[in-house]
Homo-oligomer: A and B are copies of this chain.
């Protein structure tokens, strides 16, 4: 049989990333371009086509050898109708994709939510390799999640299971995990704490605008033992840890992967602190032999996961 190649596309709110992979999942070509979400769905899909075209050109593979393409999108997906139900970062509602796919795509396309795709990447080729039951938690501006149960992305009745950021972590106030521990809310909390803090404590924050603050800046402050930044990180770890403990009790995962911008920036200390809290909350035995790992694929998790998902879906493996 001739060579097979697979394409993975990670369509984000600001950039489109496309990659061409061989059967051993070596990355042969990669292209990144801006999404241009403000130009509307047709233009966005045009740019997806450009990114794919660029990645193919760089890879040097024949178009005929491409067996399929996986497309990760930042929103809720209706799989069997090739439709995006809701994608706030793209400003899409009930957007049909089939009519907008580039006309030169002669291969089957598999559509999936971007966080589920990233989790699948970590499951196939990253930190969760070899496990059957995987939970992905991605702590960034918001908090996303993905479930791999018995070796498959779990979709549930409506197709969008995995929204771990929308678990309620305060039953009386109705606060979600994302509301308590997402970067956006950490930054809001920073603002509140700073408003109340003595001048000496406000000083290290002077050069930052908390409403625009990056995860790397928060990590820098934590690295300098800043008390406010440390408290923010600890609260975040406590809420995420409680949720990891809940998930252990509810789903008994084998590997839990921690990704997203905040996790990448805060790194190993953050992972350890979450794990400490998770162990407090998990039932005895539930975490025995369970691995809790930082995501290992970085920005390529999406394209690797999308390409792997296309292969596994299309070949039925």
Contact residues of A with B, CB < 8 Å? Answer: 76, 85-86, 131-133, 145, 147, 149, 154-164, 166-172, 174, 176-177, 180, 238-239, 242-243, 245-246, 249-254, 280-281, 283-286, 288-290
Contacts and interface: CB of A to CB of B under 8 A. Distances in A.
Given A158-B285, A158-B288, A160-B286, 10 more contacts: A147-B251, A157-B252, A157-B253, A157-B254, A163-B249, A167-B167, A167-B246, A169-B171, A170-B172, A176-B281
27 contacts: A132-B157, A133-B156, A147-B251, A149-B149, A156-B251, A156-B252, A156-B254, A157-B253, A158-B252, A158-B285, A160-B283, A163-B250, A163-B283, A167-B167, A167-B249, A167-B250, A168-B246, A169-B170, A170-B170, A171-B177, A171-B239, A171-B242, A171-B243, A172-B238, A174-B280, A176-B281, A250-B250
Contacts of A238: 171-172
Chain B CB within 10 A, most for which of A156, A238, A283: A156
A96 to B, nearest CB: 17
A149 B284 CA distance: 24
B249 A286 contact: no
A115 to B, nearest CB: 13
B242 A168 contact: yes
Chain B CB within 10 A, most for which of A159, A172, A238, A284: A172
Given A168-B246, A174-B281, A161 B239 contact: no
A289 to B, nearest CB: 8
A152 to B, nearest CB: 9
A191 to B, nearest CB: 20
Given A250-B162, A286-B158, A171 B172 contact: no
